[in-house]
Structures are given as structure tokens and as C-alpha cells.
Amino acid sequence: MAKQYDVLLRLLILGDSGVGKTCLLCRFTDNEFNSSHISTIGVDFKMRTLQVDGIKVRLQIWDTAGQERYQTITKQYYRRSQGIILVYDITSSSSFQHILKWASDVDEFIEGN
């Protein structure tokens, strides 16, 4: 059986609740958009495999809940990822300002572990 991928990369999406993290991921993996907002509970993931310079790269992208009450769960995934995508809503300045907080949380968690 042909190998399904050559490289596996784990990415994590972070940002305030409602900024569009799940929608962004659904568009990227399934080319779909759903206008209803159902908050992610804890974490969820989707995959997409791309060809990059002849190499099959499988992206395993973890979508996290933006709500504060899930942060104990979502922080467990910081260390397991090889890349982090920080998302904000272009119509919400507070969600943009909070990007600094998300980034410093990641730094803090990674340094402490």
C-alpha cells in the first residue's frame, strides 16, 4: 500500500472565542463554511495532506476552544505542537490585542515545561 504521507506536522490554532478558528480550519480542510457558531468544547482536530516539493506533508491541525474555562485542557496541547496559528477577528480590536496574551501564554507554558 502506498504511503499516505512522508511527514506529519501538528499545528495548533489559538485565539479568542468566536474569532473564526473552526471556520478557518473547515475552509482549509473541507472547503466548507457554516455560519452558525457552535463553540468548540476543549479541542478537536482535522487533517489535510499537501504535496510540498514532491513530499507528502500531512497536517494534523488542532482546533481549540477560545473560552477561558477550557484553557487547562487546551494548554496540554501547546507542547505537542510544532507550530501555532494565532487567529483574531479583523472586526474586533480586542481579539487582536489578546493575540499578545495568547502568544505570551504559549511562551510561558513552553518555558515552564
Binding residues for ligand GTP, rule: CB under 6 A, are 15, 17-23, 35-37, 39-40, 65-67
Cβ pair 13, 25 in contact under 8 A = yes
CB of residue 37 vs ligand GTP: minimum separation in angstroms? 3
Structural contact between residues 56 and 6, judged by C-beta atoms closer than 8 angstroms: yes
Decide whether 5 or 89 has the Cβ nearer to ligand GTP: 89
> Rounded CA gap, 35 and 54, in Å?
36
The answer to whether 12 touches 85, Cβ cutoff 8 Å, is: yes
Taking the complex as a whole, the smallest distance from the CB of residue 31 to ligand GTP amounts, in Å, to 14
What minimum distance in Å lies between the beta carbon of 64 and ligand GTP? 7
